[in-house]
Amino acid sequence: MSKRIVIAVDTGGTFTDCVFRAGGRIQVVKVASTPEDPGRALLEVVAQIAVQAGADEVEVRHGTTVGTNALLERKGARVAFVTTAGFEDILALARQARPSLYDWNVHRTEPLTRICFGVAERIGSDGKVIRALDEAALIELREQIRTSGAESIAVSLLFGFANPVHERAVGTALTQLGLPISLSHKILPEFREYERASTVVINAYVAPKMERYIRGMEDKLAGRLSIMQSSGGILSAHAAAEEPVRTILSGPAGGVIGALSVARRAGIAQALSFDMGGTSTDVALLETGREPEATIEGEVAGLPVGVPMLDIHTAGAGGGSIARFDSGGLLRVGPESSGAVPGPACYGRGGERATVTDANLVLGRLAPENFLGGGMQLDADRAHAALDRLLCETDAMESIEALAEGIVRVANAEMEAALRRVSVERGQDPRSFTLIGFGGAGPLHACELALALGMKQVVIPAAPGALSALGILDADVKREFARTVMMEAKDTRVARIFRELEAEAKAAFATDGLKPEMKRFAEMRYRGQGFELRVPWSADAARSFHALHEKRYGYKDASRAVEIVTLRVMATARTAPPRMRPEKLRPGDARQARLAAHRIYESARWRRAWLIDREKLRAGDRFAGPAVITELSATTFVPSGWTGTVDAHSNLILKAEVLRTGGKR
């Protein structure tokens, strides 16, 4: 009898995390990433797990950064952009918004391509053909693209979402070139021409590299492959290869789904997810009574991305972030990162510049011999040498320990600002939330960030460094289907359009043998407004919109006309939830988990602490900080004045003994 397992793989900038379930328990494997060949680490670890588990059939769910890195590093394909004649400069014009209104030195992000072609055609806003396509013009366009050196094609015609007849004709005419073609009515059939054009160009930009990567993985893996998408759902490999723009925030989305599962099992109503890795930190606001917020107004590398993605805010601070002094003598941390190779100085792979990880090691928050559960030895001498070189550049600090504390404080300030962005700046009081710390470096910084925000409780889930992979493992297969309609809420055509979208969803899922659940949504606004709010569709959708508008903006106007901008159908094929039996709580003092006496540098002096093995902690154990808790996927730092308990789901529940105004103890 064959044995089948499902493995989730999250490829990060420094480590590749793999999670699978065996014998009713979560199993974690963590290996160094291979940025020069991202698939190599994945294939090696999947083969290792298959042998370990005795499986002859493997399904891999993958959170990938291949498309993200191609976009961030500007290493994508040479794209030919085709649009309606007269609108060839839309990518360069963009929007007139300025990130800093009075800063004359701010420069708009350079478009991904300057190879732009206009085709003589015109569709009206009502979908009617105003100017028909000319066959001769299509032949000329094909020859222009052939000689342009383009490696991929993006087509976004004006009002192509209202009637795609011309986009289809252009796509058919260009098929002879043998290049990947991205059509806007398939990628993003919605209004706002710049955002639509930007999204389809991003898709075309990363498509060749992503298609090669995904097809290569499919050929080499003995089983099925699916990809995590930015909206928090799983996407089939063939769909991800055709629409890679949906995977731009693949890994961070897995972390949000994993954090939501942890919060629900722990009975937490409101949480802030704090996912700190080697290169960056991703944060999100979660309410366990509903699905996480998604946005169609996302931005990556300074470019708008119109496909749905979870509302995640990213800060350029991670364990590998490099510390430096700027020209004014101020200490800076990140966004430059040491990455996986050479990595922090203490990794011993050739890195010489001081990073956040090196600072944590100097402060005693990492135990050199117990990093990754003892699977990797850190070089404390190299970390001290890196900080010593940096210390020579300033007269403001007298010791390596003071510099290390400064590096951690600066990194914390970056991450605190990100947490405030998704909470305080949206009218939410973080003091009523729980901070869920995860990622390879999140548990090291979570308690200090909670104090800065006045939060009373921190949760460190089981296998925190692999929570993103665990979220990918448990995520549902999910896709959205949308159409811009611009009609009144009582328009009789709404029901017909919803049925058409649902038929499209069923057909897409049928290719993978799945039958999805359907949820209807409408994006609505007061007539004359520039942006809209999403509400679940019902006979009282307008009333729901008024209520949501009041909650979001502080007012409503029930007498004002409401219009539907876009209709959406969320199609979901549920993943069977894992059977997780809570453990029985037995009061204990964690004595059996103590590895050794330890020292940590805290508040300008060295203090005694305990080094604790998390694998030996039992449900019901209680302990006090300062403590350093080691395990395979991450290290947790519990400061003085904090207590920790282990709950029935193996989470660490950390609480500050006293909080004062402003989050100070």
Global pTM?
0.87
Q: Which amino acid is at 357?
A: T
Per residue in 448-465, pLDDT (tens digit) is: 999 999 999 999 999 898
Q: What is the mean pLDDT of the chain?
A: 91
Specify the pLDDT at position 37. Answer: 85
What percent of the chain is predicted at pLDDT more than 70? 97
Closest alpha carbon to 253 in 291, 290, 223: 291
Specify the pLDDT at position 438. Answer: 95
Highest averaged pLDDT of the listed ranges 233-237, 396-400, 611-615:
611-615
131-140, 142-151, 309-318, 631-640: range with lowest mean pLDDT: 309-318
Pick the more confident residue, 322 or 53: 322
Half-sphere exposure of 557 (CA within 13 A, CB side): 8
* Residue 481: inside a domain: yes
Specify the pLDDT at position 632. Answer: 87
Average pLDDT score over residue span 139-160:
96
Token look-up 């105003």 returns 130
Residue 142 pLDDT more than 60? yes
Residue 665 pLDDT more than 60? no
Query: Which structural domain, as residue segments, surrounds residue 556?
Result: 477-573
Per residue in 415-431, pLDDT (tens digit) is: 999 999 999 988 899 99
Q: Which amino acid is at 46?
A: V
Specify the pLDDT at position 544. Answer: 94
* Residue 14: inside a domain: no
Specify the pLDDT at position 658. Answer: 67
Total structural domains in the chain? 2
Residue 185: burial class (beta carbons within 10 Å; 0-12, 13-18, 19+): buried
Which residues, 6 or more positions from 144, have their beta carbon under 8 angstroms from its beta carbon? Answer: 117
* Residue 513: inside a domain: yes
Cβ of 517: how many Cβ atoms within 10 Å? 12
Q: How far apart are CA 290 and CA 570, in angstroms?
A: 14
Domain boundary among 573, 605, 640: 573
Specify the pLDDT at position 2. Answer: 63
51-60, 279-288, 535-544: range with lowest mean pLDDT: 51-60
Q: pLDDT tier at 223 (50, 70, 90 boundaries)? A: low
Domain boundary among 515, 549, 573: 573
Buried b (16+ CB within 10 A) or exposed e, 43-55: bebbeebbeebeb
Distance of CA 41 to the CA centre of its chain: 20
What percent of the chain is predicted at pLDDT more than 90? 66
Pick the more confident residue, 586 or 21: 586
Per residue in 383-416, pLDDT (tens digit) is: 999 999 999 998 888 899 999 999 999 999 999 9
Q: Are 227 and 243 in contact (CB under 8 A)?
A: no
Specify the pLDDT at position 582. Answer: 85
Compute CA distances 547 → 418, 424, 553, whole Å: 28, 21, 10
3-state secondary structure of 246: helix
* Residue 308: inside a domain: no
Residues in the chain: 665
DSSP 476: P
Cβ of 551: how many Cβ atoms within 10 Å? 11
CATH of the domain at 557: 3.30.1490
Residue 663 pLDDT more than 50? no
3-state helix, strand, coil split of the chain in percent (to 5) is: 35, 30, 35
CATH of the domain at 204: 3.40.50
Distance of CA 99 to the CA centre of its chain: 23
* Residue 523: inside a domain: yes
Per residue in 639-662, pLDDT (tens digit) is: 999 999 999 999 999 999 865 444
- Got the DSSP string for 304-360? EE-S-EE--EEES--TTEEEEE-TTS-EEEEEEE-TTTT-SGGG-SS--S-BHHHHH
151-165, 220-234, 441-455, 586-600: range with lowest mean pLDDT: 220-234
Compute CA distances 140 → 136, 170, 222, 482, whole Å: 6, 12, 45, 33
Per residue in 43-67, pLDDT (tens digit) is: 988 888 888 888 878 899 999 888 8
* Residue 622: inside a domain: no
Which residues, 6 or more positions from 622, have their beta carbon under 8 angstroms from its beta carbon? Answer: 587, 588, 589, 590, 643, 644, 645, 646
Q: Are 415 and 315 in contact (CB under 8 A)?
A: yes
* Residue 527: inside a domain: yes
* Residue 563: inside a domain: yes
294-298, 343-347, 516-520, 542-546: range with lowest mean pLDDT: 294-298
Q: Which two tokens stand for residue 79?
A: 């794209």
Cβ of 476: how many Cβ atoms within 10 Å? 16
Q: Are 142 and 176 in contact (CB under 8 A)?
A: yes
Q: How far apart are CA 436 and CA 260, in angstroms?
A: 9
Average pLDDT score over residue span 175-193:
95
3-state secondary structure of 650: coil
Q: pLDDT tier at 339 (50, 70, 90 boundaries)? A: confident
Average pLDDT score over residue span 72-90:
94
Specify the pLDDT at position 107. Answer: 78
Q: How far apart are CA 491 and CA 295, in angstroms?
A: 25
Domain boundary among 546, 573, 600: 573
Per residue in 541-557, pLDDT (tens digit) is: 999 999 999 988 889 99
Specify the pLDDT at position 661. Answer: 42
Q: Which amino acid is at 532?
A: E
The answer for 25, left when phi > 0, alpha when psi is -120 to 50, beta otherwise, is beta
Q: Are 546 and 556 in contact (CB under 8 A)?
A: yes
Specify the pLDDT at position 664. Answer: 44
Q: How far apart are CA 65 and CA 15, in angstroms?
A: 12
Rg (CA), the chain: 26
Average pLDDT score over residue span 235-243:
91
The answer for 427, left when phi > 0, alpha when psi is -120 to 50, beta otherwise, is left
Specify the pLDDT at position 662. Answer: 44
